[in-house]
Amino acid sequence: FQVSPGKLELQGDTRGGGEREPMMNGASSNRSSLQTWAGFSRKCALMVPYVWPKKSLNLQLRVALCLLLLLLGRLINVALPLYNKWIVDGLSAPATFSYWLIVVSSALKFLQGNGAMGGFLNTIRSYLWVPIQQYTTREIEVELFEHLHALSLRWHLSRKTGMVLRVMDRGTNSINQILNYLLFNIVPTIVDVFIAVVFFFSAFSISFGFIVLTTMIAYLVCTIKITEWRTRFQRKMNDKDNTSSAMGTDSLLNYETVKY
């Protein structure tokens, strides 16, 4: 996909007359030389309208509730270890044992979830996010569909329908996955790391906080490098998948030519 102000387009090149045509052939594998994180902030800004729908107040309220639940989950992650500490301290004699600590801790654990259980907050957040995801899918697919109909007759006469449909399908799904990953994985992780660093700085010593901060920076750098390395292979695989889809679909659309 090509990033342009206010809309998504299929990546292409300019041919005669200055009209931009989609680039759907194997030559797109040259993109592997591009940096995975190039223009990351610009791409994130492009996806903002799909996260905050201006056309629907109901969807905006759902986004706000999802963000509030996300913030509440971060606070629970901080409070739960403290309650566990107070429960353990309450078991030591001659301190009096407080049952309400166990009740509150159990309630927080229910909200947070553990292991295979997503937790009550995550379940509610996923339920609220479904209409937003449907809105994003619908808007992107309609915009791409209108863009394809706005292309020249020359391109449609030499089209590769299977490849176009495969790229549209993968692009729409990828954007939804990126939005979910950014909002509900990357951002919460960054917030958790920040809270952990501040907690270790204040509760223990500077050295503890520095160890946590250094570890997370090293992890982040390694993650970025490995992602850039593996993305080259992912792009090559996508190009081959596009070619395969184009051959299969076009052979069925041109059955008479292939058969006879």
Residue type, 181: Y
Question: Hey, CA dihedral for 15, 241, 7, 139, is it positive or negative?
Answer: positive
Count of domains forming the chain: 1
CA distance 196 to 112: 17
Residue 145: which residues within 8 A CB-CB, separation 6 or more? Answer: 168
Output phi, psi for 3, to 5 deg.
-90, 120
Helix then strand count (H, E) for the chain reads 9, 4
Give yes or no for a contact between 111 and 119, defined as CB atoms under 8 angstroms apart.
yes
pLDDT at position 68, please? 92
pLDDT at position 65, please? 93
SS3 147: helix
Rg of the chain's alpha carbons, rounded to an integer? 25
Tell me the residue range of the domain where 87 lies. Answer: 2-259
DSSP label at 152?
A: -
Give yes or no for a contact between 121 and 73, defined as CB atoms under 8 angstroms apart.
yes
CATH number of 230's domain? 1.20.1560.10
pLDDT at position 36, please? 59
CA distance 168 to 252: 19
Digit-by-digit pLDDT tens for the chain (260 residues) are 444 444 555 554 444 444 445 544 444 444 544 555 566 677 777 777 777 888 788 888 999 999 999 889 888 888 888 888 888 887 776 667 678 888 888 888 888 876 545 688 888 988 999 898 888 888 888 888 888 888 888 877 777 777 777 777 877 787 888 888 888 888 888 888 888 888 888 878 788 888 888 888 898 888 878 877 887 887 888 788 777 777 777 777 776 777 76
Residue type, 165: L
Query: What's the gap between Cα 12 and its chain centre?
Result: 24
Peptide bond into 81 cis (omega under 30): no
pLDDT at position 114, please? 66
pLDDT at position 29, please? 46
pLDDT at position 37, please? 59
Residue 60, CA distances (Å) to 11, 34, 66, 69, 178 in order = 30, 35, 10, 14, 19
pLDDT at position 136, please? 85
CA distance 20 to 10: 10
